[in-house]
Copies of this chain bind each other. A is one copy, B any other.
Amino acid sequence: MEAVIGIDIGGTFTKIGVVDREGNLFYENSIKTDKYDDPLSFVSALHEVIQSFLADTGKSLDIRGIGFGAPNGNYYSGTIEHAPNLAWKGIVPFADIVKSRFQLPVVLTNDANAAAIGEMVFGSAKDMKNFLMITLGTGLGSGLVVNGGLVYGHDGFAGELGHICVVEKGRQCGCGMQGCLETYVSATGIKRTVFDLLATETSPSIFRKISFSELDSRQIFLAANNGDPIAVKAFEITGEILGKSLAATVAHISPEAIFLFGGLALAGDWIFNPTKKAMEEYLLPVYRNKVKLLPSGLLHKNIAVLGAAALVWKELDD
């Protein structure tokens, strides 16, 4: 049977999956990314894990290629460039290293782009030619699909909506700028909003007893369900900022749908309702009540690994 390998490189863990054409994940494993100081030893470790699987359970598989979702992964050059949360500095010719080790076709892009391809190949965007994927994790990632293809841009780095300035002289961002979308709309962003509200409002809240380091976005969701006024308002503010920003994206690419993925997307109506409301308010009339705002069809799956695998299937088909 034909299969591909999908690999999601994160700062701490790298997740590996073997995936068939239908998106069935029939092998999963992971290695510690930060255990390897250089990409060569990292790729060797990946090779060992995968060879061991292929020599054993995966014996009958015809592996067609390997796809990677990696921070600052460049689709055109196959390089990983100045990834802030990886130990490998500078521009790493990652795809070339993998190719010479595995003797297989290799495709690489960033994790949010891989998620968009995953949605297109295995998720809810199967028949869509124009859509947007927003991944809400520690930061905000995005992948744009236009005319049936991913938007990589001139340099391979298109689709960084997390770093659009949404508040003039706003919150400090890890990128060095201020007021970036992801400092408001992400797991970290909503947490910062909770702490802003604890400072500016007097409402009681369970969060008055929790430190910044202890708080995570799932607690904010649970607190909103319990009527905690700070949690409820934090979701409203987060959705408002996201919705307004999505309206600007619609003015660019007029997508059929916008998918949300990640911890915040699991909060359901708490995030979808204020986002939808604000988006519609800021849309030019011609776009109103047309754009579907949907949870990812892979919301409860490993979209990063599936996306990396989908990248290979799409490449083989194109």
**Contacts from A to B (Cβ < 8 Å):** 72, 81-82, 128-130, 144, 146-147, 149, 151-161, 163-165, 175-177, 244, 247-249, 251-256, 282, 284-287, 290-291
Contacts and interface: CB of A to CB of B under 8 A. Distances in A.
A181 to B, nearest CB: 9
A129 B154 contact: yes
A157 B282 contact: no
Given A129-B154, A130-B153, A146-B151, A163 B251 contact: yes
A85 B273 CA distance: 35
B290 A155 contact: yes
B256 A154 contact: yes
A171 B147 CA distance: 34
Given A129-B154, A156-B254, 16 more contacts: A146-B147, A146-B151, A147-B149, A147-B151, A154-B254, A154-B256, A154-B290, A155-B287, A157-B286, A160-B284, A160-B287, A164-B251, A175-B284, A177-B282, A252-B252, A252-B253
A154 B176 contact: no
A253 B144 contact: yes
Contacts of A290: 154-155
A158 B287 CA distance: 9
A252 B249 contact: yes
Contacts of A147: 146-147, 149, 151-152
A284 B163 contact: yes
B154 A255 contact: yes
A248 B247 CA distance: 12
A253 B165 contact: no
A233 to B, nearest CB: 19
A158 B128 CA distance: 15
25 contacts: A81-B286, A130-B153, A144-B253, A146-B146, A147-B151, A151-B252, A151-B254, A153-B253, A153-B254, A154-B254, A154-B290, A155-B286, A157-B286, A158-B252, A159-B252, A160-B284, A160-B286, A161-B252, A163-B251, A164-B248, A165-B247, A165-B282, A175-B284, A248-B248, A252-B253
A186 B155 CA distance: 29
A176 B287 contact: no
A159 B287 CA distance: 11
A253 B175 contact: no
A254 B153 CA distance: 5
A254 B290 CA distance: 26
A283 to B, nearest CB: 9
Contacts of A130: 153-154, 158
A64 B156 CA distance: 37
Counting chain B CB atoms within 10 Å of each CB, the highest count among A146, A165, A290 belongs to: A146
Contacts of A248: 164-165, 248
